[in-house]
Amino acid sequence: MKEQIEEMKTKALDAIAKAENEKQLEEVRVTYLGKKGELTAILRGMGALSPEERPVVGSQVNVVRDTLESKIKEKEEQFKQEELNRKLKEETIDITLPATKVKRGSKHPMNRIIEEVEDLFVSMGYDVVDGPELETDEYCFERLNLPKGHPARDMQDSFYVTTEYLLRTQTSAVQARVMMKNEEKTPIRVICPGKVYRRDDDATHSHQFGQVEGLVIDKDISLADLKGTLEVFVKKMLGENSVLRFRPSYFPFTEPSYEVDVSCFKCGGKGCNLCKQTGWIEILGSGMVHPNVLKMNGYDPEKYTGFAFGTGLDRLAMFKYGITDIRLLYQNDIRFLKQFDRMD
């Protein structure tokens, strides 16, 4: 009996191994393990065995059955895998064919820069404020310590609409607006990005351009605070390796006043055509808010000090994106605009 079972097992295993597809495997399963299968027949015939033999044969049959079942299962898995592999192969596509376009629009480089500047200063607790572009002489000049006839007015030839209204020549106009609007005369921490206008149009100047103004008024604000703030600003915008140079200068609305140069980001300060061989590029005007400006706009210069700064945004955008001609920023060639569609 034992030999008979062993022989059957060998035959069955051989048949499983030889099965070429699921159908043949199923036939093998039916032949041995089916209701009318050979192994089932042996189990059925167990009643004829002696009580001593029965458990021995029973357990032998069970072992063989388990072996066969697991072998069949293994073989089944193999067939499934083969079938899947075949299907996957069939479904293989040419991934080098062109993509289906899912293009979105793009943000103008100037607004990309403005948003970057805004995000930086907002993270330092500044409020972003807006002011009129068609401004009054009072806010654009007079309240900034630039009375009519002041020689510094020549620095910025203006577009007047009437003797009182003009297109603002500087975002500094917003300084006075913010100070006047703050009736409690509490500390101020703002930036104001926006458009400004000057009678100037050549290869490097546009009559309309972008500027951002910063203003901080509080107790004990110092030049060292201005320096530290501008260092953070310039390094974030133009790279951590940037070196700043402060040069005393003159603006009627600040005293002391400084122009700020940054080490040339093209040559690193060695001298090139971008920095006109000087190694430096002028990027900012800044200074401590002039006490007359504080006074004129309701702040007590004995109690408060402040700093202000302003920088051109066109140049920042040009530096950042390697734009060589300022006119590209205002030409709005769709092929230019569409390039600004990715993160920085």
Residues in region 134-193 near other proteins by CB under 8 A: 134, 148-149, 151-152, 154-155, 159-162, 165, 167, 187, 189
Is residue 201 at the binding interface for other proteins, with CB under 8 A as the rule? yes
Question: Least CB distance from residue 123 to other proteins, whole Å?
Answer: 7
Q: How many CA atoms lie within 13 A of 88 on its CB side?
A: 6
The pair of structure tokens assigned to 17 is: 């191994």
Is residue 228 close enough to count as binding other proteins by CB under 8 A? Answer: yes
Instruction: Determine whether 320 is exposed, middle or buried from the number of CB atoms within 10 Å of its CB (0-12, 13-18, 19+).
Output: middle
134 vs 173: CA distance, rounded Å: 11
The secondary structure of 232-252 as a DSSP string is HHHHHHH-TT--EEEEEEEET
| Cα Dmax for the chain | 130
Q: Which is nearer to other proteins, 128 or 180 (CB)?
A: 128
Does position 203 interact with other proteins (CB under 8 A)? The reply is no
Q: Does 297 bind other proteins (CB under 8 A)?
A: no
* Contacts of other proteins in 321-340 (CB under 8 A): 329-335, 337-338
Q: Which of 241, 244, 233, 245 is nearest to 309 (CA)?
A: 233
Among 34, 58, 132, 271, binds other proteins (CB under 8 A): 132
Q: Which of residues 28-47 bind other proteins (CB under 8 A)?
A: none
Name which position in 220, 322, 324, 342 contacts other proteins (CB under 8 A).
220
Site string for other proteins, 73-112 (x = CB under 8 A): ---------------------------xxxxxxxxx-xx-
State both tokens at 26.
Answer: 């199923």
Angle at 127 between CA 123 and CA 133, to 5 degrees: 130
Binding of residue 291 to other proteins (CB under 8 A) = yes
